[in-house]
Amino acid sequence: MSREYIASVLKRLREASGLTADQVGEMVGKSGKTVNAWENNRGQPDAEILMLLCEIYRVEDILATFKEGYITKKAPAISGSDIQKQRLMENYEKLNPLGQEKLVDYSEDLTEVEKYTQTEAVFSAKEA
């Protein structure tokens, strides 16, 4: 399998997920330009990011995905908010009980601040 083919598969998976390059970049901690570079064979993601992309695109068998002619049609891609929830849960699991309590306390404090609980549309309207 060629690097060009891998790049085209990354692009097709992203497009099939309905996500933009910027959205995917945000999910993996990179820029949209970097994601576009991967999709245009001007670089490739490292193994850790590739595994994360497989989660985002709901691809179970990473090697099979890149075999010539194989594109999976799995469940819809994980949304950006689902990735954030997953990251929050992973961080929670890494903490000891004291840290877990602190994280819960902090999140409860955030829910009491209007700035963090408004929807984006309402928040934008108030800033105008």
pLDDT tens-digit profile of 65-96? 555 555 444 444 555 566 777 777 777 788 88
98 in any annotated domain: yes
Q: What's the structural domain count of the chain? A: 2
Co-location of 60 and 86 in the same domain: no
Co-location of 92 and 58 in the same domain: no
Co-location of 40 and 88 in the same domain: no
The domain of 47 spans 3-65
Looking at residue 8, its amino acid is S
Cβ(50)–Cβ(62) below 8 Å: yes
pLDDT tens-digit profile of 3-55? 888 888 889 888 888 889 999 999 999 999 999 999 999 999 988 898 888 88
Higher-confidence residue of 127 and 82: namely 82
46 in any annotated domain: yes
70 in any annotated domain: no
Cβ(54)–Cβ(65) below 8 Å: yes
